[in-house]
Amino acid sequence: MTGSERRVIRNEADLAVLLTSVGAACRRAQIPDRETARALTVISELGRNILKYAGRGHMAVDLHLAPPRRIDIEAMDTGPGIADIQAALQDHYSTGGTLGLGLPGVKRLVDHLEIRSSPGTGTIVKARRWLP
């Protein structure tokens, strides 16, 4: 990853390649370990949501190193969508038999979170974290 990475997410291996690439780019850019861990957790959660609920999708990660430094993460799929976004952002709400901590956790880890979704059309999640 040089500053941007786009990847189709079809399986855990695709997600692992993305996580490895972003982690290496953050280390090269001397992003603090804590910030790198936050970004990788967000990517992992959003990628696993794609796999669990849509089966496949796309992720884009942009690392902006010129001030203001930030990392932008976008997850897109054409799955069943999220019927109630506000409920999905509440701890322990789940339609998939999980603990329901993924999206609420993502929300806590980023500075800006935008979710667009409609039942039957898919979901786009955009997350931004400002970097020191």
The pLDDT tens digits for 34-62 are 999 999 999 999 999 999 999 999 999 99
Q: Per-residue pLDDT tens for 106-120?
A: 999 999 999 999 889
Question: What secondary structure letter does DSSP report for 52?
Answer: I
pTM listed for this prediction: 0.91
d(CA 88, CA 83): 9
Residue whose token pair is 């992992």: 44
Taking each helix axis as running N to C, give the angle between helix 33-49 and helix 102-109, from 0 to 180 degrees, rounded to the nearest 10.
150
